Amino acid sequence: MRHPAGHEILPHDHNPVPRTVEWTQEVLFVRSGKVRLDIYAPGSRAYLESRVLLPGDVVLLAHGGHGFTMLEPSEMIEVKQGPYAGEQDKERFAPAAAGSLRIID
């Protein structure tokens, strides 16, 4: 969020609202290093493209497959909604072949 000086967000609390979570969503913040993010289509898991993430980059992974390769020593902060279901929370699959990667900087 960005607000001018003097802007106020009034004190508030959040009401209990039942929610059903179908897909885990996550946000990643790159603290240091260089990370390649590989993105796959929802359902088919077809490889789409890759992005290089640098310190300060933030990515929202809302739906579809994804994988990461640390291109140098890296630190990331990952935030996702819970509760976390352990290995039941994800299904691993084979990565795209290195020769097929389309890296977008």
Q: What is the pLDDT along the chain (105 residues), one digit of tens a residue?
A: 889 999 999 899 989 988 888 888 999 999 999 999 999 999 899 999 999 999 999 999 999 999 999 999 999 999 988 777 778 778 888 888 877 888 887
Nearest partner of 85 among 42, 23, 29, judged by Cα: 23
* 105 in a structural domain: no
Nearest partner of 38 among 71, 63, 68, judged by Cα: 68
Task: Give the span between the Cα atoms of 53 and 29, in whole angstroms.
Answer: 9
For residue 30, give its domain range: 24-81
* 89 in a structural domain: no
* 74 in a structural domain: yes
